[in-house]
Chain A
Amino acid sequence: MSFDDDVRDLYQEVILDHGRKPRHGHRLAAYDVTAKGDNPMCGDRVEVFVKMAPDGTIAETGFEARGCAISVASADLMAETVQGHGKADTRALFEAFREMVRTGTCPQHDAALDEPLERLAPLSGVHEYPSRVKCATLPWHALVAALNGTKEASSE
């Protein structure tokens, strides 16, 4: 197997693209909740900013990250995916996503999560790299902490 083929299961084009040029990789000018995520073992850090819509759904998510391509791409895909979802949905999505990156397969889930999980599917290749799973889940820990009103999260 060539080098390129060998690593494409993890570093798919969509991940490289979002890792290099994140669309949501910035602090929001106005936001309602925020939290930091920290992986003390590897030094990755992410800070998420969330603006809520009047109906209780997520209007916009921005983030500032210091980390690898996987963590930045995961944060960007997350920001894109959770837009328009309520808090409960977002938490359920995180649980399903976490299962997906740990095992490589998508767990049983509510039909409403079909479309968002599909968007996150490019990250499922992470399950083959156990030491990198936390890179993918770190931004989600921070997002859920922000929604729960806690200021800090750790992927440890």
Chain B
Amino acid sequence: MNVQKIRQDFPILSQTIRGKPFVFLDSAASAQKPRAVIDAMRNAMETQYANVHRGLHWMSERTTDAYEAARDAVAALMNAPDRDEIVFVRNSTEAINLVAHSFGRHMLKAGQAVLISGMEHHSNIVPWQMLRDAHGTELRVAPITDSGELDMAAFEALFADGRVGLVAITHMSNVLGTVTPAERIVSIAHAHGAKVLFDGSQAIVHRPVDVQALGCDFYAWTGHKLYGPTGIGVLWARRELLEEMPPFLGGGEMISSVTYERSTWARVPHKFEAGTPAILEGIGLKAAIDYVREIGYDAISEHEASLTEHALARLSRIEGVRILGQAQDRGGVVAFALDKAHAHDVATLLDRQGIAVRAGHHCAEPLMHRFGLDSTARASFGIYTTHEEIDALAEALIRVREFFT
């Protein structure tokens, strides 16, 4: 994979920040956008734009085709058996909330449990707490080991009382980088009659996701981490579940007919897509998917594995650096703490050297506390990240530590 050539596809990367090359190591928060995405969205606005699904005119029909092509692209990307199983939402958070409201309130019974893990993003904790408080389900948390992996024995033991109705779990941790053993999770959950939702926000950026091979029931992810625009995300769910689930939001687009007495719902997936959708963002997402598939997940995974290995080697050699998580199977995020400085101070000093990292609790406060920390800094990698940028991070960190010593 030619990283220098890829970098040329991302206009933002050629900038300097405070006179220094822009070293962007915050892709796990949101990735930069390639020219193909920018052009697709601009082109749509300049030449081909109207509202979708209802205009009886040429422009609307063309826009509908372009927007619906995004659904095909997503279905192909995830190997979904049916394009109608792709529900467009704003982001992973909305996808999970949709499942919590619609599946959770209508297909889980009070007293049943939702099982999450000890390494979830707040977006896969809070909706289940809200469901618990509104509906009387239980929220169970499967512990993780000191190395940052799911404790599989403890996980399986949590099914013993037969009350787990849904497992909602990350496919890759946004803090530890841990990739969870998805097939095993599904096989254990299904053996106990529970459905499985994966939060794939991070995973789908780094490796191919095949929902049929995984065997899961729901898969949520967001476009902006996969080099696409913000404001569009995906919920994939098995068709029979979507058919049975009631709508989440009501309004335009999601109805079949409306009278003051009653309304009937549009067919799946439109039943779940109330209001004018993110049309331009859908078109941008398709461009992002095409771009990623052209590079290919094999090349992406290989590049990111090499970057991660390099980062772990470089950072672990720096005195006073503690890296969170040593999972065997991991993706391109490395969270770390420095003994002499708080993560915010680390991030500010790195920023002064042109290096962008995230600092804080990474929307995973319970996970931070599991490791006895309030916050960490996190470097995360994308297809455009170079080994030299990781060297720059390591050298800068040494200077930061000296500064605070």
A binding-site residues for B, Cβ under 8 Å: 3-4, 6-7, 10-11, 16, 41-45, 66-70, 129, 131-132, 135
The verdict on B349 contacting chain A, using a C-beta distance below 8 Å, is yes
Can you give 16 contacting A-B residue pairs, CB < 8 Å? A3-B352, A3-B353, A3-B403, A7-B348, A7-B403, A11-B345, A11-B403, A42-B344, A42-B360, A42-B375, A43-B374, A67-B344, A68-B344, A69-B345, A69-B404, A131-B348
The verdict on B370 contacting chain A, using a C-beta distance below 8 Å, is no
Give the distance in Å from the alpha carbon of A65 to the alpha carbon of B156 in the complex: 39
The verdict on B72 contacting chain A, using a C-beta distance below 8 Å, is no
- Which A residues are CB-close (under 8 A) to B341? 69
User: Which residue from A3, A11, A43, A45 sits with its C-beta under 8 Å from B399?
Assistant: A3
Top 5 A-B pairs ranked by shortest CB distance? A68-B344, A68-B342, A43-B361, A69-B345, A42-B360
- Which A residues are CB-close (under 8 A) to B375? 42-43
Give the distance in Å from the alpha carbon of A43 to the alpha carbon of B343 in the complex: 11
Q: What's the nearest-Cβ distance from chain B to residue A136, in Å?
A: 11
Q: What's the nearest-Cβ distance from chain A to residue B20, in Å?
A: 10
Q: A3-B399, A43-B375, A129-B348 are in contact. Are A16 and B365 (CB under 8 A)?
A: no
Nearest-neighbor residue (CB-CB) of A4 within chain B: B403
Q: What's the nearest-Cβ distance from chain B to residue A114, in Å?
A: 30
Which of A3, A43, A69, A70 has the most chain B CB within a 10 Å cutoff? A43
Give the distance in Å from the alpha carbon of A69 to the alpha carbon of B342 in the complex: 7
B binding-site residues for A, Cβ under 8 Å: 18, 341-345, 348-349, 352-353, 359-361, 365, 368, 374-375, 399, 403-404
Give the distance in Å from the alpha carbon of A70 to the alpha carbon of B353 in the complex: 19
A7–B352 touching, CB < 8 Å: yes
B342–A16 touching, CB < 8 Å: no
Nearest-neighbor residue (CB-CB) of B349 within chain A: A7
A6–B365 touching, CB < 8 Å: no
A67–B342 touching, CB < 8 Å: yes
Give the distance in Å from the alpha carbon of A43 to the alpha carbon of B342 in the complex: 11
Q: A3-B399, A43-B361, A66-B374 are in contact. Are A16 and B404 (CB under 8 A)?
A: yes
- Which B residues are CB-close (under 8 A) to A3? 349, 352-353, 399, 403
Q: What's the nearest-Cβ distance from chain A to residue B43, in Å?
A: 34
Q: What's the nearest-Cβ distance from chain B to residue A28, in Å?
A: 23
B403–A132 touching, CB < 8 Å: no
Give the distance in Å from the alpha carbon of A42 to the alpha carbon of B353 in the complex: 21
Q: What's the nearest-Cβ distance from chain A to residue B18, in Å?
A: 8
User: Which residue from A11, A43, A45, A69 sits with its C-beta under 8 Å from B360?
Assistant: A43
Give the distance in Å from the alpha carbon of A16 to the alpha carbon of B404 in the complex: 8
A70–B360 touching, CB < 8 Å: no
Nearest-neighbor residue (CB-CB) of B365 within chain A: A43
Give the distance in Å from the alpha carbon of A135 to the alpha carbon of B375 in the complex: 14
Nearest-neighbor residue (CB-CB) of A45 within chain B: B374
Give the distance in Å from the alpha carbon of A7 to the alpha carbon of B402 in the complex: 13
**Known interface pairs A7-B352, A68-B345, A129-B348; 8 further A-B residue pairs with C-beta atoms within 8 A, sorted by A's residue number:** A6-B18, A7-B403, A11-B403, A42-B360, A44-B344, A66-B374, A68-B342, A70-B345
Nearest-neighbor residue (CB-CB) of A20 within chain B: B404
Give the distance in Å from the alpha carbon of A81 to the alpha carbon of B309 in the complex: 49
- Which B residues are CB-close (under 8 A) to A45? 374
- Which A residues are CB-close (under 8 A) to B343? 68
Q: What's the nearest-Cβ distance from chain B to residue A16, in Å?
A: 7
Give the distance in Å from the alpha carbon of A66 to the alpha carbon of B361 in the complex: 13
Nearest-neighbor residue (CB-CB) of A41 within chain B: B360
- Which B residues are CB-close (under 8 A) to A10? 348
Give the distance in Å from the alpha carbon of A125 to the alpha carbon of B404 in the complex: 18
Q: What's the nearest-Cβ distance from chain B to residue A32, in Å?
A: 29
Give the distance in Å from the alpha carbon of A70 to the alpha carbon of B18 in the complex: 22
Nearest-neighbor residue (CB-CB) of A69 within chain B: B345
- Which A residues are CB-close (under 8 A) to B349? 3, 7, 11
- Which A residues are CB-close (under 8 A) to B359? 42
Nearest-neighbor residue (CB-CB) of A10 within chain B: B348
Nearest-neighbor residue (CB-CB) of A72 within chain B: B342
User: Which residue from A6, A7, A16, A135 sits with its C-beta under 8 Å from B344?
Assistant: A135
- Which B residues are CB-close (under 8 A) to A68? 342-345
Nearest-neighbor residue (CB-CB) of B342 within chain A: A68
Which of A45, A69, A132 has the most chain B CB within a 10 Å cutoff? A69
B403–A70 touching, CB < 8 Å: no
- Which B residues are CB-close (under 8 A) to A129? 348
B352–A6 touching, CB < 8 Å: yes
Give the distance in Å from the alpha carbon of A67 to the alpha carbon of B343 in the complex: 9
Give the distance in Å from the alpha carbon of A11 to the alpha carbon of B365 in the complex: 27
Give the distance in Å from the alpha carbon of A44 to the alpha carbon of B344 in the complex: 10
- Which B residues are CB-close (under 8 A) to A69? 341-342, 345, 404
Q: What's the nearest-Cβ distance from chain A to residue B360, in Å?
A: 5
- Which B residues are CB-close (under 8 A) to A6? 18, 352
Give the distance in Å from the alpha carbon of A3 to the alpha carbon of B404 in the complex: 13
- Which B residues are CB-close (under 8 A) to A135? 344
Q: What's the nearest-Cβ distance from chain A to residue B341, in Å?
A: 7
- Which A residues are CB-close (under 8 A) to B345? 11, 68-70
- Which A residues are CB-close (under 8 A) to B374? 43, 45, 66
